[in-house]
Amino acid sequence: MNERTGHRAGESHQDADSRRSGTYSGGVQSSPAIEALADAVEAGGLIDRRSGGVVLVSADDVDEDELVLAAADAGADDVERDGSTFVVSSAPEELTTVRAALEAAGLELESVGLSMIPKITVAIADESTAKQVVRLVEGLEDNDDVQDVYANFDIPEAVLEAVVS
């Protein structure tokens, strides 16, 4: 067994994406996407991934207008504020250009990478349903074979606080 990877000699592994839709109580549908390491035989027929470039910029001492202008000039699709961070999204092929432009503008980048971005988000306001979804995502994230979990749900802060407490 290879101590670094945990794989036995002769085993073949590859990255695998899996997306499954689920209906929770109240008829809410959510589609988590799971990125995991899987045996090659188990990974056949998986769905192609659709991704986008994402740059997280610290909102501390940042002029939003200057950030939006620099991002747009570099080819970014959108800039949104999420708490103390700005989320700059772009097409994957524009990510390098957007990153370079934001760095040249002197902005503090928290992270840069590709991410799966939902085209449609599902609002989950029911506490019971939110608890089920959060439990599912936490369980997937705790699995050693799961590398990343992406989801398309949107839970209001008040409901999320009640669920995680």
| pTM, to two decimals | 0.58
| Selected residue with higher pLDDT from 7 and 73 | 73
70: buried, middle or exposed (CB in 10 Å: 19+, 13-18, 0-12)? buried
- pLDDT at position 41, please? 32
Ordered domains of the chain (ranges, CATH): 13-48+119-164 (3.30.70.980), 52-115 (3.30.70.980)
Determine the length of the chain: 165
Q: Reduced to 3 states, what is the DSSP secondary structure of residue 146?
A: strand
Q: Do the beta carbons of residue 130 and residue 73 sit within 8 Å?
A: no
Q: Tell me: the pLDDT tens digits for 99-147?
A: 999 999 999 999 999 887 777 778 899 999 999 989 988 998 898 888 8
Mean pLDDT of the chain: 76
CA distances from 65 to 59, 78, 79 (A): 12, 13, 10
pLDDT digits (tens, 9 = 90+) for 2-32: 444 444 444 444 444 444 444 444 555 555 5
Q: Taking every pair of C-alpha atoms in the chain, what is the biggest distance, in angstroms?
A: 55
